[in-house]
Amino acid sequence: MTATSEPPTSRIPGFYALSLVERQEVLRRAAGLSEADLAALSGDHGLAAEQADHMIENVIGLHALPLGVALNFVVNGREVLVPMAVEEPSVVAGASFMAKLARAGGGFTAACTPPEMIGQVQLLEVSDLPAAQAAILREKSGLLAEVDEIDPLLKRLGGGPRDLEVRVIQESPIGPFLVVHLIYDVRDAMGANAVNTAVERLAPRLEALSGGRAHLRILSNLADRRLARATCKILLAELAFGDYSAEAVRDGVLAAWAFAAVDPYRAATHNKGIMNGIDPVVIATGNDWRAIEAGAHAYAARSGRYTSLSTWGMDAQGNLTGQLELPLAVGIVGGATKVHPGARAALKLMGVTSASSLAEIIVSVGLAQNLAALRALATEGIQRGHMSLHARQVAIAAGAQGEQIDRLAAQLVAEKTVRVDRAEAILQEWNQLK
């Protein structure tokens, strides 16, 4: 199987019960991974300290995160295995289970707008703002043509400048100024370097046209021209579990979402739950999760009031419907994605061939993770499942080893006392009985 061929299925029953080595073997067969790919994903032969020393300053070593794989995802009809680098329990399990529920309704349908980023040039000391704005706009075609010659490779791939906008900022702490927006298609890159280079090139011409001084020349992380959107339908019959009817779960999810839609205090935690799904995939693929976070939360406040990034509703048949939309500036070329062996292997595992296809998977995982949190909150509460998984971390922190870990975690959950001090006390009792 080639690197880009799709796996037979992302449904792998009992995957969690396999040993680490067995899971790796399953993924190797499913996604056509090489031994080198597996070594990179496992951390055995991933990013080397020598490589890291050239990536950032004052390197002293490497910091690892657990890397899991979310199962059951179908995105635009394609089976996808999703790598997730995250330290928080229940995230991978929650996304996987919601993806399983979504399969009966066709999985996730996702789409992206063109990969257009915004570069900004701040023009200060402009004596006549309207006249300067008009002068720049008159020269738009020439300015775009100049920028178009900066990156011949990007141009050959179909990217480059698309438009130029000029904003007049009338009120600020330092008075009025102009802002020029360069709209730039970056193709399969995240685009920061390309856009920053382009606005640097434009700055002298903009100064001459405006009579002002070009101050900041920088990419905007509010990439609201580069949106990713995912939708799903959860069949009503899939929602029932335990003592909860399907209608009760559906209505509980809708009520929980309505809370986030109107209250910023709830929306902040609601959207954090979405990012619980998004960030781990972004990190696993070597992309800039800080940029994604900044853009997402700014987009959530675009109306002037911070609100939910997702929308949940009900169709005519009573099925639960969900939609998530946010800026997703991710790339599959350049930066850490290019130099980090684990990031390259993660992309291979997913079988992505473009930045857009990566964004479509990521936004789908965000929607799945959002549903996992809402479903838990609306039924048994967020703590039950979360704490069951958290108990294993507590057990390890207390010093449990091997078979003790699961045994101790089970006792902590049964006692409803998931604390390190209690875990240490139990371990001490066990040791005294030896």
Q: Which residues are catalytic?
A: 88, 272, 288, 386
Q: Amino acid identity, residue 108? A: F
Question: How far, in Å, CA of 371 to CA of 310, rounded?
Answer: 10
- Joined together, the tokens standing for residue 160 give 């480059």
Beta 116-124 vs 213-220: how paired, if at all?
antiparallel
Question: How far, in Å, CA of 189 to CA of 335, rounded?
Answer: 9
Cβ atoms of 120 and 216 closer than 8 Å: yes
Nearest alpha carbon to residue 70 among 86, 50, 49, 58: 86
Dihedral sign for Cα atoms in the order 235, 237, 240, 241? negative
- DSSP line for 81-118: EEEEE--STTHHHHHHHHHHHHHTTT-EEEEE---EEE
Please state the φ and ψ torsions of residue 422, each to the nearest 5 degrees: -70, -40
Question: How far, in Å, CA of 215 to CA of 128, rounded?
Answer: 17
Q: Which residue has the tokens 């905007």?
A: 220
What torsion, rounded to 10 degrees, do the Cα atoms 139, 141, 147, 153 define?
180
3-state secondary structure of 163: strand
3-state secondary structure of 236: helix
Helix (H) or strand (E) holding 182: strand 177-185
Question: How far, in Å, CA of 284 to CA of 289, rounded?
Answer: 10
- Joined together, the tokens standing for residue 149 give 């010659």
- First-to-last alpha carbon distance for the chain, in angstroms, is 52
Please state the φ and ψ torsions of residue 392, each to the nearest 5 degrees: -65, -40
- ∠ CA 250-240-323, rounded to 5°: 35
Please state the φ and ψ torsions of residue 218, each to the nearest 5 degrees: -160, 150
The dihedral region occupied by 304, where left means phi > 0, alpha psi between -120 and 50, and beta the remainder, is left
